[in-house]
Amino acid sequence: MKAARLLARSFSEAGASIVFAGEAESWRHWPERENLQSIANVELVPLDVSDTQSVEELCGEIGGKVDILVNNARFVRPGGVVDGGNLVFAQKGNGSELSRADAPCSGVWPGDARPRC
């Protein structure tokens, strides 16, 4: 979440009249929340980018007030399945094991000299 704080501070210091910062779960504590709120002109708003209704509701409220939109939704919440960077465990946990057959147009697997399409 450090990136969100740095972005918000940069926009604020550049003269943005208001910086909306979305948070998916306001009830859950996250380490940078207080730091983000302390930046001038920052307003935390409810936003879960994985939920269409959440996005539509926020667009209805602030859509006309937004000049620049930055999506940096790569925050991994502490305690989540991917906390600690164990994505193999996360893939197995939700049944989405990635195999060679799942990526037929990639050249990223070890030993692949050319893309397969």
3-36 residue pLDDT tens: 788 889 999 999 999 999 888 888 888 778 888 8
pTM reported for the whole predicted model: 0.57
Which of 116 and 48 is assigned the larger pLDDT? 48
Q: Report yes or no on 85 lying in a domain.
A: no
pLDDT over 90 at 2, yes or no: no
Q: Report yes or no on 48 lying in a domain.
A: yes
Q: Report yes or no on 96 lying in a domain.
A: no
Q: Report yes or no on 95 lying in a domain.
A: no
Residues 6+ positions from 82 with CB-CB distance below 8 Å = 76, 90
Average pLDDT, the chain: 72
Give CA–CA dist 60/62, Å, rounded: 6
Mean pLDDT, range 62-81, rounded to an integer: 71
Q: Report yes or no on 90 lying in a domain.
A: no
Q: Is residue 16 within 8 Å of residue 41, measured between CB atoms?
A: yes
Range of the domain at 13: 2-75
pLDDT band at 114 (very low <50, low <70, confident <90, very high): very low
Q: Report yes or no on 54 lying in a domain.
A: yes
Give CA–CA dist 53/102, Å, rounded: 30
